Structure 1
Amino acid sequence: MSFMASREISTRREKPRLLLLTHYYPSHRGGVEIVAGQLATRLADCYDIHWLAADCDPPPDISGITCIPQRAWNGLEKHGLPWPIWSLRNWWRLKKTIAESDILHIHDFIYPAHLLAIPLAKILGKPVVLTQHIGDIEYRNPALRNILKTINRSFGRWMLGISSQVVFISPRVKAGFEAYTRFTSPPLYWPNGVDSRVFTPSPFPTNRNQLRESHGLDPTKPALLFVGRFVERKGLPLLRQMVEMRPNWQWCFAGWGPLDPSTWQQPNVFVWEGRQGASLATLYQLADFLVLPSHGEGFPLVIQESLACGTPVIVSEETAAGGPALPGCMTPIVHTPKNPDPAHWISVIEHRLNTDKQAECRRLCAEKAKQNWCWDTLATNYKKLLAGLLND
């Protein structure tokens, strides 16, 4: 299909067609795809959205959005690389889909289909908004670490450079790419939102004890929470060491992945799978702290969700740098993935557990979350951006 023919089709539609590309659908439960779903839901009133992602999980049923799962091989994820590879037939279809679209919104450049889509869109004259979530990752494996750095500085520099507009969710990731990328337009920093109607503090302090009891926990013992994929870069090996060092603390895990804490055979470990929305919010509400010793991330959505529920966060200094400074709400810890120090993490957690200002801290966390993050505000920004690119 020619460029002029695709333009004629677009003028006959009531709404412009937006092609949305992510590696997975939200049911995969990763932060990137959840963010994409939240934004798409709010953009559907202005755009005819066609959402392409790997068929590893069921697509969402959202009014105004047509999901088209792409057959893919996902064998690398069990090795810590969430990198689905579409079948060749679907790659050929991608060109036709781009030609029939008016504008593209892509989340992270690094996935195979995205690496093809961005230059194809450039050739076909379609504007591309690229939301970049992650940058370099300090994998313990030096080969993986160096491969990713090479990809970011070669393909990444090219993909970000030819995109019509790049939006970063983290100032740390933005600064990293700015060091070696010449952008078409000045890059933007727009943090993700959080749904404060779902992720909200427990109404009464006594409810936290009731929540713990209903989840099989002892209300008198500390409860530490981790939410995310059970993989090395999220800090699971370090968390395992801490679990063994403090058997009297209750360690709660919500997620999935190859480093499953349920295999550790520790009586103080509690694991939940498939939690999202309100059922996940209850875990944030019952916890004393969210503990996240991760590296190589932008600014994980779970931090924002936890704070919105009034639960303070103890996180690696690198990950904390992806968001605003929130004294009293987010405690950053110097963390070297290649040489972690579980005793230091334990010391910081103990100090925070012994503070006498827990209630005040939880109130402040929820207030800061409301002040800093809102999906509706973010969606409005994207609507203005997309409309401006279409009108150019």
Structure 2
Amino acid sequence: MFTSRPLRVGVLAHYYPPHVGGLEVVAREVANGLTRRGHEVTVVTSACPGAPGAMDEDGVTVRRVRVGNWFERHGVPFPVFAPSLLLHTWRLVRRSDVVQVHDMLYLSSWVGALLCRVLRRPYVVTQHVGMVDHPARVVRLVQGVVLHTVGALVLRGAACVLPISPVIDAWTRGALPGVRTQVLRNGLDRARFRPAVGREREEIRRRFGLPLGEVLVLHVGRFVPKKGFDVVAAAVGEGYRTVFVGGDRPVDLPESSARLFLGTLPPDDVAAVYRACDVFVCASRGEGPLTPMEALLSGCAVLVNDDPAMRALGLGDGVEELAMTPARLRAALVDLIDRPGAVAELAARGRVVAAGLPTWEEHLDALETVLESVRRAVPSEAGR
């Protein structure tokens, strides 16, 4: 149990809710969780969406900075911050005991790491991804340049790097030998993500206008190549319909009665949609997202991409793996749905695995220990 004095924690995240994404969920869960435990948490992030300025959100001070977000339209989540990021980050770092930087790939992370060095404040980096296998060669090239230049400075300067999985840990240590790392898996909210009870599934389907008597396949995430949206969207077939949560139908994707788009939903509604669906598909590459674990907790049968980062989640026999292309995914879905009892059997295996997944409270216990050890190792002069 944490018994030291409360920490003043500064958080830098390029995106933060209501922007949709796994990193955003983690950043908010951690910020809110640390606040509930008595720590003082301030977040600097992008005003995307929303207006610039500071607000109190569940006890967390969230300062949003104006950005240009042109790159995200092309599937690259890289907001370009206004120069005021320097001032707001300076203030954040100066009054913090320790700073948590979410990932090394972003402008907010670079500025934060630099100012932590200038002001002699310790920081940790929560590393959410390794090298993303983006379909655009120029994006892959830029990632490599960042890793071996400013990204290396961010990671090498951290008191500790916290990869979210053993695969990302191995990638980090392989790319930058000597970097101090400690795997810290993401947690899960077992109260929010749970199986449907009674007639709840039918009630949720009515609420969202989903067909009652059909098999529903679910995809949750941004509509970008890293998430495998293009694969899932193309894998339409007979005997099921695919539900998409994370945005509106892209204009270049033809309308089809086989694809149902629910847009961007608040967290409790996303959890409800999980409970209303039969099968969940995660086609992500180069990352271990929260979504397949949330789906397991919600009682879905889960199919995931055959990817090292996905396997590092440790879901084992609770999921079916396949090297996802539209044709392979379509064949796997048809086979799963056509075999009597196969969906229920896979979902039951998933529930066994889900019982051993970490909670956010366990995550926070470990994070508090890391942050306090960092503060003690490098005494802060914040607020003097």
TM norm. shorter chain > 0.5 = yes
Instruction: Give the alignment of 1:15-54 within 5 angstroms.
Output: 15-44=6-35, 45-54=37-46
Give 1:247 deviation, angstroms: 4.7
Q: Which digits, 9 at most, give the CA deviation of each residue in 1:250-270, with x for residues without a partner?
A: 11001127x628952101211
Q: Secondary structure at the match of 1:120?
A: helix
Give 1:144 deviation, angstroms: 1.3
Give 1:195 deviation, angstroms: 0.6
Give 1:21 deviation, angstroms: 0.6
Q: Secondary structure at the match of 1:260?
A: coil
1:345 maps to 2:336 = no
Select the residue among 340, 354, 359 that pairs with 1:374.
359
Give 1:28 deviation, angstroms: 0.4
Partner of 1:98: 93
1:324 maps to 2:324 = no
CA distance in 2, matches of 1:107, 1:85: 16
1:229 maps to 2:219 = no
CA distance in 1, matches of 2:340, 2:269: 28
Q: Is the CA contact 2:98–2:121 (under 8 Å) kept in the aligned structure 1?
A: yes
Give 1:280 deviation, angstroms: 1.1
Residue range with higher mean Cα deviation, 195-204 or 152-161: 152-161
Partner of 1:196: 190
Q: Is the CA contact 1:161–1:182 (under 8 Å) kept in the aligned structure 2?
A: no
Q: Is the CA contact 1:157–1:177 (under 8 Å) kept in the aligned structure 2?
A: no
CA distance in 1, matches of 2:290, 2:244: 16
Q: Which digits, 9 at most, give the CA deviation of each residue in 1:213-242, with x for residues without a partner?
A: 443333433211110111222222222321
Quick one: structure 1 residues 62 and 366, their matched pair in 2 at CA, closer, same or farther if it must change by over 3 Å? farther
Q: Is the CA contact 2:315–2:353 (under 8 Å) kept in the aligned structure 1?
A: no
Give 1:95 deviation, angstroms: 2.4
Quick one: structure 1 residues 332 and 61, their matched pair in 2 at CA, closer, same or farther if it must change by over 3 Å? farther
Partner of 2:49: 57
Q: Secondary structure at the match of 1:189?
A: coil
Q: Which digits, 9 at most, give the CA deviation of each residue in 1:24-44, with x for residues without a partner?
A: 121102110111110111111
Q: Is the CA contact 1:262–1:270 (under 8 Å) kept in the aligned structure 2?
A: no
Partner of 2:380: none
Quick one: structure 1 residues 250 and 60, their matched pair in 2 at CA, closer, same or farther if it must change by over 3 Å? farther
Quick one: structure 1 residues 350 and 247, their matched pair in 2 at CA, closer, same or farther if it must change by over 3 Å? closer
CA distance in 2, matches of 1:92, 1:60: 17
Q: Is the CA contact 1:320–1:330 (under 8 Å) kept in the aligned structure 2?
A: no
Q: Which digits, 9 at most, give the CA deviation of each residue in 1:91-144, with x for residues without a partner?
A: 144223312221101111111121121132123221111100011111211121
Counterpart residue type for residue 266 of structure 1: S
Q: Secondary structure at the match of 1:256?
A: coil
Instruction: Give the alignment of 1:157-172 within 5 angstroms.
Output: 157-172=152-167
Select the residue among 122, 133, 143 that pairs with 1:127.
122
Partner of 1:10: none
1:111 maps to 2:106 = yes
Partner of 1:264: 254
CA distance in 1, matches of 2:252, 2:281: 17
Partner of 2:368: 383
Counterpart residue type for residue 223 of structure 1: L
Q: Is the CA contact 1:121–1:128 (under 8 Å) kept in the aligned structure 2?
A: yes
Counterpart residue type for residue 317 of structure 1: D
CA distance in 2, matches of 1:63, 1:343: 45
Partner of 1:3: none
Counterpart residue type for residue 269 of structure 2: S
Partner of 1:290: 280
CA distance in 1, matches of 2:176, 2:64: 32
CA distance in 1, matches of 2:40, 2:68: 28
Counterpart residue type for residue 350 of structure 1: V
Q: Secondary structure at the match of 2:291?
A: helix
Give 1:22 deviation, angstroms: 0.4
Counterpart residue type for residue 42 of structure 1: G
Counterpart residue type for residue 164 of structure 2: I
Q: Secondary structure at the match of 1:134?
A: coil
CA distance in 1, matches of 2:92, 2:238: 54
Partner of 1:5: none
Q: Secondary structure at the match of 1:69?
A: strand
CA distance in 2, matches of 1:66, 1:92: 16
Structure 1: gaps of 5 or more residues: 1-13, 336-340
Partner of 1:334: 323
Q: Structure 1-normalised TM-score? A: 0.87
1:73 maps to 2:68 = yes
Q: Secondary structure at the match of 1:56?
A: coil
Quick one: structure 1 residues 129 and 356, their matched pair in 2 at CA, closer, same or farther if it must change by over 3 Å? same
Q: Is the CA contact 2:302–2:350 (under 8 Å) kept in the aligned structure 1?
A: no
Give 1:184 deviation, angstroms: 4.8
Select the residue among 294, 297, 301 that pairs with 2:290.
301
Partner of 1:142: 137
Q: Is the CA contact 2:228–2:285 (under 8 Å) kept in the aligned structure 1?
A: yes
Partner of 1:240: 233
CA distance in 1, matches of 2:174, 2:313: 19
Q: Secondary structure at the match of 1:116?
A: helix
CA distance in 2, matches of 1:349, 1:77: 30
Once the two structures are aligned, what percentage of the paired residues are identical? 24
Q: Secondary structure at the match of 1:348?
A: helix
Structure 2: gaps of 5 or more residues: 378-384
Q: Secondary structure at the match of 1:383?
A: helix
